[in-house]
Structure 1
Amino acid sequence: MSLDTGSSPNTFEARAVVPLAAAFVMAAVVLFAPQVLNDGDTWWHLATGEWILSHGRVPDRDVFSYSMAGHPWVAHEWLSETLMALAARAAGWSGVVILFAAVAGGSAWLLAQRLARDLGGLTLAAVTALSLACMGDSLLVRPHLFMLPLLLVWTLEMLAARDEGRAPHLVFAFLMTLWANLHGSYVFGFVIAGAFGLEALTEPGADRIKALRGWGLFGLASLVGAVVTPHGLYGLVFPFQLMTMTVLPHIQEWRAQDFSHVSTFVIALLATLFVCLGRGVKVPPIRLLLLLAVLFMALQHVRHQLVLAAIAPLLLARPLAEALGHERRDTRMARAWLIGFGVAVLTLAGLRLTLPLHRIDGLNSPVTALEHVPADLRAQPVLNGYGLGGYLIHQGVRPFIDGRADMYGDAFSADYFKATSPDPAALESLARRYRVAWTIFAPDDPAVAALDANPAWRRIHADRQAVVHRRVRPYPAGE
């Protein structure tokens, strides 16, 4: 198989067009694909942002649930949630998706533009397409997407520093402050900087004192920047506490990659192995270790595939270009291309605004089901499906549980997942302990069958999104 070596005029066109095409496609997907709003956590993130704007401060206690009311809560994504709420106030749900479309589109441009320096033609298009395709399942309107441009800018500066034989510019340490207030993934920044710093320190012939001083100062400044959050030093510990929770396998995004079927991720992984092994691609040892570490995390938790899809192409671009004979080139684009791109993107955003988004029944959005719950019943304790808690919060209903597993903790979450697995006795015990008056679960949730079989509960509504049960027998007195 012969791949484009990057020396033809068509390759130059590809290097100019692919970054803009990638940005346009990613923005369009977020603007118009219904799936980006399928995550139930979107609702409570938006509600948190509204709470912050209304109260002028970041909550440090639970203000939404009834089961954990007043319990300490680290709202570590507060800045993302505030931006979401501001976008919603400006243009409703259309404003929210436009905000995330800008983030996704900008990230795609950053990635493809950097790849275009080393790769061209079919290779550039293929690598970009596979990388963006692997990000597809992560294109959700949630704070984690704000991580993507920060991760790319950070990694690009590390690459530039190594190419130029210097330490990263100290101004990028301020990026860590922004990152730490937007999303807990800022920890990846330290891992990446540490890897490149170690490479600079161990490079043959390196001035180790200079490298240690430059990279060490940058690391220290970044550490100080990461502490500048409402949570202070505890914010540094929080991401590690989250990753050690034992109930994470119950949450889909924290599960391991499923290889029982062919997915986009599997195709990209096999294609990468095929080309790298077949063409003898050689990756510097420390960068290879970094790549393998991120790969391991992506295999262990599907949520980290987004990180791998962003970092792997950047680490492999230069070695792949050398193996395929691509030359490094200037990637400046003609003004006509930029003007055309700007017009196209503005047209997309304008179209989104002229077609306002109205949330209707959907995955994790039981609009009709909740409307069928009488107002007096809605005010009483509910036992809900894990993915439905966010919608309840947004609608002013205090849930039993929602996507803030870190706040609920291992013990509470384990009891919940055991009861709804289902364990009929545990389910009844949990309902009795919290005096649950009604329940709402997705139709395929195992708890639904257990509730149907229990004469103490009666269905009052069922549709494709949710099943609602009401307690029809009183709980034993004195329990």
Structure 2
Amino acid sequence: MRSMSLHDPAVNSRLVPGARPPDDAHPTSASWLLPTMVLGFFIASLARQAAKPISDFDTFWHIRLGDDILASRSVHAPTASWSALSDRPWVPTQWLTEVVVAGVHEVAGLPGVAFLFATALFALTWLIHRLCRGRAGATAAAMTTGLTVVAMSGSLSPRPHLATYLLLAVTLIGWLRTADDLRPRWWLVPLTWVWAMSHGMWFTGPLLGLVVIGGLVADRRVTRAQATPLMVVPLLSIVVAGLTPVGPALWGTPFAVAGVGSFITEWQAPSFRMVGPAAAMALVALVTLVWSRRQERASWVEIGVLLLGTAWILLAARTVALGGLLVAPLAASALQTLVGRPRDVPSRAERRVIAGWMLLCLAAVGLAVPSTAATPAAVPTALDADLHDLPDGSVVLNSYQLGGWLRWAHPDLEPVVDGMTEAYSVDHLSDYQRVYALMPGWHEIVEAYDASYALVEEQSPLAEALRDKRWTTLAEAEGYLLLQRAATPY
């Protein structure tokens, strides 16, 4: 079994987006039209999803945090004033995207946020298709693009982590090109600097670079001396991440989730009975199957990218999307092998049709969101007036998923907890879990919160327990109860 080097033209046509395929690959309109139509239907379905009301609970506290940063003109000010119950120092890791979203919301409201989400979603789909189309024909690229977006679907919501997916896709294109021509992509350094202000997973870019460089050394494509200038790119990227307004404290943020990760569902191990993780592992299985059947050995660069992607898929539900994205171009190449014919060159007409259809779908989203996304979903907006009437500074024992919405819609209230878990200690989060599970001592914890009101699910055991403690119902709507503490201690 022989190993193929990445400078072999046959490998370049598989590895690098935009690389020329063998000369015998002559595209025809028939070869790309049908798969492009299928891709178009998929893009239209994404547009329909993007036009729905915003239902991700964390989106709301991101808007609120961006508002606070804009109002104070400081990325550090919200860390001191986020919550009266916040008992843990934290670092703003995604302030740039939060400021952008808050600015859009200030101008265009929630419809503007929904449109921004649609724009990012289409841009991500276009980048994934470009990665796949650079290694496969139209049919294999369209199929792999769809499967990759499905693999990432559990994390595709209007939140700052979309910036990581977009920038990781761009970074992957850059490092795959470096694997082809051995030239350092210095633009990855300022890209990482922007990334470090946009989302806390910025380090995935430099990590990918180190994996690719290690693969080049293992493939004997470069000597250690030749690898030195390449190594400067990821190392310098790590350095500049500490030169943002947050400062060197940003270097420690990848470990911040370690303490509170057990309280966050998306940081738990993925369930492969769910569509997203199952689709991601299908991509890995496809690559593994094809590699095991072909005569030439995969390059160490490809093996490294596959292992890194698989590790992200297995790590947590939150990181499945990262792994699916990294494996996508490898899966496209593997699927093209199964197709059994040379990859055709993307024609100008194909590119224009895809780009034009995406712009048309985006325009449709822009026309739809003023009526479809003007109000949030999955939150009790019918209780807005009642919540507005509560005294300023009132502590509200809230359902976890409503914390971010309360922070945004009713900033004068003090929810006990919200999705900004980095701002709370393990003890605080543990106490909150004890309250919701009605564990021994739960009512003493509620007393310690000094909560005068509660906003909880109507059918929850906690709601029943609070009413047993003589809490009275002020209002109820959309499956939630607004309760007031008894005038006398229970």
TM-score with structure 1 length normalisation?
0.86
Counterpart CA distance in 2 for 1:350 and 1:267 is 30
Report if aligned partners of 1:15, 1:120 keep a CA contact under 8 Å in 2.
Answer: no
Residue from 165, 170, 174 that aligns with 1:148: 165
**Rounded Cα–Cα distance in structure 1 between residues aligned with 2:146 and 2:135:** 16
- Report whether the alignment pairs 1:38 with 2:52: no
Do 2:283 and 2:327's aligned partners in 1 also have CA atoms closer than 8 Å? no
Q: CA deviation at 1:289?
A: 4.2
| Match of residue 249 from structure 1 | 262
Query: Offset of 1:450 from its aligned partner?
Result: 2.9
Structure 1 match to 2:31 = 11
8 Å contact kept, 1:256–1:300 = yes
Q: Secondary structure at the match of 1:327?
A: coil
Q: How much has 1:99 moved relative to structure 2?
A: 1.2
Match of 2:145 in 1: 128
Q: Does 1:157 align with 2:192?
A: no
Q: Shift of the alpha carbon at 1:135? A: 2.0
Which residue matches 2:244?
229
* Corresponding residue SS for 2:220: coil
Deviation at 1:42, TM superposition (A): 0.9
CA contact (8 A) 2:207 2:234 kept: no
C-alpha contact (below 8 Å) 2:26/2:344 kept by paired residues? no
Q: 1:255, 1:301 within 8 Å by CA — same for their partners in 2?
A: yes
> How many correspondences in the alignment?
459
CA-CA distance at 1:184 after TM superposition: 0.5
The answer to whether the Cα contact below 8 Å between 1:98 and 1:349 also exists between their aligned partners in 2 is: yes
In structure 2, the CA distance between the partners of 1:7 and 1:21, relative to structure 1 (3 Å rule), is: farther
How far off is 1:162 after superposition? 0.3
- Return closer, same or farther for 1:325/1:209 CA change in 2, 3 Å cut-off: farther
Q: Which residue of 2 aligns with 1:431?
A: 446
Question: C-alpha distance in 2, partners of 1:343/1:235?
Answer: 36
Q: What's 2:323 paired with? A: 308
Q: Distance in 2 between matches of 1:321 and 1:195?
A: 25
Q: Which structure exhibits the higher relative contact order, with contacts defined as CA atoms closer than 8 Å and separated by 6 or more residues?
A: 2
Equivalent residue number for residue 17 of structure 2:
none
| Structure 1 stretches lacking a partner, 5+ long | none
Structure 2 match to 1:266: 278
Alpha-carbon offset, residue 269 of structure 1: 2.5
Identity of aligned residues (%): 24
How far 1:272 moved relative to its partner?
Answer: 5.0
List per-residue Cα deviations over 1:117-163 (Å, max 9, x = no partner): 22124322221111111222222111111211101000110001001
- Shift of the 326–112 alpha-carbon distance from structure 1 to 2, 3 Å rule, reads farther
Tell me the CA shift for residue 14 of structure 1: 5.8
Task: Name the stretch that deviates more: 175-184 or 16-25.
Answer: 16-25
AA in 2 matched with 1:206? V
SS in 1 for 2:81: coil
Q: C-alpha separation between the residues in 1 aligned to 2:470 and 2:103?
A: 44
- Once residues 44 and 64 of structure 2 are traced to their aligned partners in structure 1, the CA distance between those partners, rounded to angstroms, is 29
SS of the equivalent of 2:348 reads coil
CA distance in 1, matches of 2:461, 2:191: 44
Partner of 1:65: 83
Q: Which residue number in structure 1 is paired with residue 401 of structure 2?
A: 387
Deviations 1:30-59 (A, max 9, x none): 53134xx22211111101111222221213
Q: Which moved more, 1:54-63 or 1:336-345?
A: 336-345
User: Aligned runs of 1:356-367 on 2, under 5 Å?
Assistant: 357-360=373-376, 362-363=377-378, 365-367=379-381
Instruction: Find out whether 1:409 has 2:425 as its counterpart.
Output: yes
- What residue is the counterpart of 2:20 in the other structure? none
1:16 to 1:161, Cα distance in 2 relative to 1, 3 A:
farther
Matches within 5 A, 1:315-330: 315-322=330-337, 324-330=339-345
Q: Give how far 1:446 is off.
A: 4.4
